[in-house]
Structure 1
Amino acid sequence: MTMFRACFVAAALLCATAHAGGVTVSLRTEAELSQPRFTLADIATLNCEQASDCKTLAGLYLGSAPRIETAERLSQPQLARLIRRLEPRLTKQIIWSGANEVTLTIATQTLPAAKLVDTARAALVTAYGEAGMSAASQYPETDIKLPAGTVSLHARTPDFPARERMSVAVSVSINNRFYRVIAVPMQLTVLAPVLVAERDLAAGSRFSCEQVQLHTTNVARHTGLATQAICDRPWRMRKPIAAGDMVTTAAIEPIPDVEQGAAVSLVADFGGIRLESGATALADGRIGEAIQVRPALSTTAIKARVVGSGQLQAIGK
């Protein structure tokens, strides 16, 4: 009898030891997630004999939330395998209860498309100015479904000439975490004065703003139109333009430091002796470029480097 009682006490102690620090995980039937990643505490109720065990298990990140308007299911065996990999120390102490599987969805909110359009329009104002600019939205949606959380919008300011139809990229962040980029199509009007030739302008001739009139037009409908901004420096015609046509940036070019056929100053060094003479440029050249020139009183061309406006340094034949 005494031996039987001793065995009973030993078994009771063993059982108590086995359940010491036990953890009960009660799985929910459904869980609506509010964060991009979810933990065990988001999908189950925990009951632990040791508070530290519950704290450890509750904070285990088990995966990413499903996409909007989709649902995912996780079963008890799947969760048990995840926990065994993430926290093997507590695996044997877990007692499962509740649902056999949990259905996961993500909490959503609705963002009016008008806020997206306003953000895109503000970026266009920054890029092209408010005066003379108007932008009509062509975005097809009225509302956008997003995950729950604090929404912030940031539009990429265009860094290219205005076009009549263009899209503005708007970045959407939820709780300061990037979520997605939405392209917002816009129809743009930018009224600005452009240069219109008063007379025929021949290729190779000098160009100045005294040869044009200002006409206001929608520059978003055209590409490469010249504006008053070019009037502060000298240009020459790269291509001919007929009277009444708009001047484009492709039709003009900056006057080079040395022009073909121009008289230039040529410097040559021979063993410490510096000689300077006149020459004729046989090609256009800009500072740093090497071109052919013909020295005065010579019929032979030599190579020289442009070092300044109308100035060249001889470098050989």
Structure 2
Amino acid sequence: MSTYTAERIAREIIESGKSVPPLPAASQRLMIIARQPIDQIDVASFSKLVEGDPALTAKLLQLSNSSFFGTLKAIKGVRQAITHIGLQETVTSVLSFLFREALPQFPKLKKMSGDDYWEHSLGCATANRMLGHPVHAQMTQAVPGELYIIGLLSNIGKIFLAINRPADFERCLDLAHEQNLPLAEAQKQLFGTTDNEVAYHVLQHWNLPETICLTIRHYRSPGAAGKELRGIAALTQLAHYMVNISGIGNNGDQYPYQIEDSYVFENWMFPQAEKQKQAKVIEDIFKMLEKRAGMMNPDNDPQEKPEASVPPAKAAAPQNKKKKGMFGKLLSMVK
């Protein structure tokens, strides 16, 4: 893979000014907060930070009053929202709103929409956060909030490529579909690099922590990550596989990955003594993803969905069958 190509494309993207706006002023402070253990977060400081941004506050209150969280009386303030939906959920939701508002709208493509992209990314963020369970502490010292950020931004290179080179990106989607290739392989053929390599260089321009940048660069091939980051990269890859199985959203990669081919399972990184707890974590993740399907997009943007190759009713049955079969296989591997 040509690093020079990734750097060159990233430079074009940054200099174009189309898809890499400056991050909002609150973003760096929010990421510092999110990367702290949840019991060390200063609720008063966090609340004040959110309250200083009317748009973030409005989004948080919209989410808190949604049917997903269910409430008998209206939630009217940030502190009340934290009490109602929990501090961890509040912090990660605010981060999601911030990045979604900061980035330009995803272009219209035949096989992928902005709603698809964000649903998949939010699914990866949720799964990655839950994989940060203490049972996996020997794999990574990253806190759930940091894993959430990595999962949320792990697809971001696709936005950069789709906005700046929409025709080429569309050809990548077509090539991957026609030849049954992983999207990264199609990208290498047409771009000479992959979206996560491009994302690495753009995120460095944003001055994001190197842990986040490097994990996103290597999550597709965790073995290439340094020893300290290999566990985070492996969990992020596993989160992607789980979201693909769950059928939430669409990140453009329709290749039928097998869960047993993930780096975690190929190298059996889970601690042997905690199999029952691992099975419970995995089961909880699938339940959460299923519960949140359709709720992942907080804005319900009226973007057109890409054309389906088969009627939705016919497509649903194979997907559900696949999900149940793979879910059972995954659970059997850790029990």
Report the TM-score when normalising by structure 1: 0.15
Structure possessing the higher radius of gyration over alpha carbons = 1
Q: Choose between structure 1 and 2 for higher RCO, CA contacts under 8 A separated by at least 6 residues.
A: 2
Q: Give the structure with the larger helix fraction.
A: 2
Q: TM-score under structure 2 normalisation?
A: 0.14
